[in-house]
């Protein structure tokens, strides 16, 4: 007869203890909590390098998403793309605003549905098999982009690619949070933002490299580069350990133990960690089988609101406007094409630098105030971009460009990185995949909304607002700042069990950092 999960866990624990010296035996929960709080980054680097390596691998899922998000706006600056998919008026190639909106929206539509499917697949066949599905789907979408000869075929390819990217954006924070100890969790999940910024930097770099061409490969070439990201993930996938949290929920503690052993090293006693995961899963399972409806019940409603709200704040702060349209915006502001391309690369390079700085910030200053102050600073920068657009001076365009560069640094150092950190920490264990899917859906819905309205706001044949768009997003960012002050919690140094306690006790998010748990 098939053993139950508790029976399998007990058998695994007894077998381990028979081969372990007495001083390695310790209380499961207390021992694991004490170890998590005493562990330092130096300890992880010296003794558990596999955790760092595999956290980095899963964080790199975000490269493909960042590349696609950036190229949507950057490819519009390529004349041959506007010519092949748009029309020429008075010698200038122009993309119709309706087609531009459809082009930008398609990927987000795919991500919306891809995230939900991924959450279902990841809880049934595992995280590794789900990533394989995502890689295959993305590869098909990329080939479609490269060889599409019509608008319809190109849009269909963008939807397919977005579907696969929904898998990437759901699995990345999910695996980084489930593989990492407390001391590494912030850096690991913030690494997802590094992947996004690297993808955006590479996107602008290849656009600049191919942008001078006058044939199809001026834009098809950059799409080809996306295949390298799928190859990287595909090569590493067979060697990656499965999530021990998934394996315990799948009633397979023996494989969960092997996965933990691969991560922590052969000489490390993983029994307390296995028992702690088991207890968390068992306690959550007592509430019944998890569903999306459960994400909106009881205290989970607050956890879901925080997990999705932080990503909505990114769009309220104008991420699509400032980063997605940076190169095109620079051209509309009056800078020549060469300077526009160079500044576009500079913007994303500052984003990469900001993400590196976030690694030092997240463990030193936590999550809450970094996020709130980041929102406030971005609000000021957006308003300054708007003000510069109504001041008739020759240097106004360069001030706007400088604000955009600073914006990229602040964004990736603060709300860009902290959103993924909080997504890895806030959800309860059984709803983690579903909450990640809802966060991906939030990204997609906000992306769809912004990508529909942006062409009409900035295109010369429409509202032609140029930098005045900064006033619109400055006001929205101010509202996001108020929301984040109330709802963004401080979870630095908390184990998953402690985070559960904070929400069960209904501690207000703004007070979680100072709340004492007995």
Q: Over the stretch 96-116, which tens digit does the pLDDT of each residue have?
A: 767 777 777 888 888 889 988
Least confident range from 25-39, 90-104, 274-288, 434-448: namely 25-39
Residue 206 forms beta bridges with which residues?
Answer: none
Of 221-235, 267-281, 373-387, 415-429, which gets the smallest average pLDDT?
Answer: 267-281
Rounded-to-integer distance, Cα 343 and Cα 326, Å: 8
How high is the pLDDT of residue 6? Answer: 46
Q: Identify the pLDDT of residue 88.
A: 72
Helix (H) or strand (E) holding 92: strand 92-94
Given this model, what pLDDT does residue 346 score?
A: 76
> Does the pLDDT at position 138 exceed 50?
yes
Collect contacts of 148-156 with beta carbons under 8 A, ≥24 apart: 151/85, 151/99, 154/85, 154/103, 155/102, 155/103, 155/106
Q: What are the tens digits of pLDDT across the range 407-429? A: 989 998 999 989 999 998 999 88
Integer Cα distance of 295 and 310 in angstroms:
16
Q: What is the pLDDT of residues 450-500, one digit of tens each?
A: 877 877 787 666 777 777 888 999 999 999 999 999 999 999 988 888 898
Q: Which residue segments constitute the domains of the chain, with CATH numbers given?
A: 45-240 (1.20.1250.20), 297-517 (1.20.1250.20)
Residue 329's pLDDT band, with cuts at 50, 70 and 90, is: low
**Which SS3 state, helix, strand or coil, does residue 89 take?**
strand
The two tokens of residue 405 are 């560069």
The mean pLDDT value for 229-256 works out to 92
Q: What is the mean pLDDT of the chain?
A: 83
Quick one: which of 199, 196, 219 has its CA closest to 207?
A: 219
pTM value is 0.78
Q: Where are the extended beta strands (E) located within 267-378? A: none
Q: Which string of DSSP letters, residue by residue, matches 246-260?
A: HHHHTT-HHHHHHHH
Burial track 281-318 (b if 16+ CB lie within 10 A, e otherwise): beebeeeeebeeebbeeeebebbbbbbbbbbbbbbbbb
């Amino acid at each position: 007869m098939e053993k139950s999960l508790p029976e399998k866990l007990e058998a695994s624990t007894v077998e381990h203890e028979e081969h372990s010296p007495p001083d390695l035996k310790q209380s499961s929960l207390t021992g694991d909590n004490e170890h998590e709080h005493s562990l330092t980054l130096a300890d992880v680097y010296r003794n558990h390098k596999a955790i760092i390596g595999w956290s980095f691998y899963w964080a790199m899922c975000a490269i493909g998403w960042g590349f696609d998000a950036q190229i949507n706006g950057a490819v519009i600056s390529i004349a041959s793309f506007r010519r092949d998919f748009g029309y020429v008026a008075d010698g200038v190639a122009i993309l119709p605003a309706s087609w531009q909106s459809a082009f930008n929206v398609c990927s987000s539509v795919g991500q919306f549905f891809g995230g939900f499917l991924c959450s279902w697949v990841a809880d049934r066949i595992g995280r590794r098999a789900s990533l394989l599905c995502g890689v295959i789907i993305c590869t098909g979408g990329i080939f479609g982009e490269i060889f599409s000869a019509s608008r319809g075929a190109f849009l269909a390819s963008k939807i397919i690619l977005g579907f696969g990217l929904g898998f990437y954006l759901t699995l990345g924070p999910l695996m980084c949070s489930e593989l990492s100890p407390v001391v590494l969790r912030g850096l690991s999940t913030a690494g997802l933002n590094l992947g996004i910024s690297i993808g955006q930097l590479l996107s602008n770099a290849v656009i600049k490299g191919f942008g001078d061409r006058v044939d199809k490969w001026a834009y098809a070439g950059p799409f080809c580069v996306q295949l390298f990201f799928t190859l990287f993930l595909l090569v590493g996938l067979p060697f990656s350990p499965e999530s021990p949290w998934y394996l315990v929920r799948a009633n397979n503690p023996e494989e969960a133990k092997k996965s933990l052993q691969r991560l922590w090293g052969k000489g490390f006693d993983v029994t307390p960690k296995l028992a702690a995961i088991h207890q968390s899963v068992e306690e959550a399972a007592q509430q019944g089988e998890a569903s999306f409806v459960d994400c909106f019940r009881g205290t989970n409603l607050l956890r879901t609101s925080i997990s999705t709200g932080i990503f909505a704040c990114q769009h309220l702060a104008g991420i699509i406007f400032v980063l997605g349209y940076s190169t095109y915006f620079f051209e509309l502001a009056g800078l020549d094409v060469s300077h526009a391309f160079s500044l576009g690369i500079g913007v994303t390079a500052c984003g990469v630098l900001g993400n590196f700085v976030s690694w030092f910030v997240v463990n030193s200053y936590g999550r809450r105030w970094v996020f709130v102050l980041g929102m406030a600073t971005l609000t000021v920068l957006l308003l300054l971009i708007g003000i510069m657009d109504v001041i008739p001076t020759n240097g106004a365009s360069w001030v706007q460009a400088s604000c955009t560069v600073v914006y990229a640094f602040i964004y990736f150092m603060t709300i860009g990185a902290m959103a993924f950190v909080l997504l890895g920490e806030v959800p309860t264990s059984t709803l983690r995949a579903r909450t990640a899917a809802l966060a991906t859906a939030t990204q997609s819905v906000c992306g769809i909304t912004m990508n529909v309205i942006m062409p009409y706001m900035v295109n010369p044949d429409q509202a032609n607002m140029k930098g005045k768009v900064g006033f619109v997003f400055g006001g929205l960012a101010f509202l996001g700042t108020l929301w984040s002050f109330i709802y963004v919690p401080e979870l630095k140094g908390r184990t998953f069990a402690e985070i559960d306690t904070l929400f069960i006790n209904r501690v207000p998010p703004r007070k979680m950092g100072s709340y004492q748990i007995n």
